[in-house]
Amino acid sequence: MAQEHAATVATAGWFDQAVFGYYPYIALAVLAIGSIIRFDREPYTWRSGSSQLLRRKQLMLGSVLFHVGVLIIFGGHFVGLLTPIEVFDAIGVSHGAKQVLAIIAGGIAGAMAIVGALILLHRRVFDPRIRATSSFGDTAILALLTAQLVLGLSTIPLSSQHLDGSEMVKFMAWAQGIFTFQPGAAAHISEVHWIFKAHLALGLTIFLVFPFTRLVHMLSAPIWYLNRRGWQLVRTRRGMADQKSRARPSRGGR
What is the per-residue pLDDT across 99-155, written as a single tens digit (0 to 9) for each? Answer: 999 999 999 999 999 999 999 998 888 888 877 877 888 899 999 999 999 999 999
pLDDT for 42 equals 86
DSSP characters over the chain? -HHHHHHHHHHH-HHHHIIIIIHHHHHHHHHHHHHHHHHHH-GGG-S----TTT-HHHHHHHHHHHHHHHHHHHHHHHHHHHS-HHHHHHTT--HHHHHHHHHHHHHHHHHHHHHHHHHHHHHHHH-HHHHHH--HHHHHHHHHHHHHHHHHHHHHHHHTT-TTSHHHHHHHHHHHHHHTT-TTGGGGGTTS-HHHHHHHHHHHHHHHHGGGSGGGGGG---GGGGGPPP------HHHHHHHHHHHSPPGGG-
Question: In this structure, which amino acid lies at residue 17?
Answer: Q
Please tell me whether the overall predicted TM-score, pTM, comes out greater than 0.85 for this model. no
Is 128 in contact with 167 (CB distance < 8 Å)?
Answer: no
pLDDT for 239 equals 56
pLDDT for 228 equals 56
pLDDT for 220 equals 74
Q: Which residues in the chain come in under a pLDDT of 70?
A: 1-12, 47-57, 221-254
In the chain the domains, ranked by start, together with CATH numbers, are 2-249 (1.20.950.20)
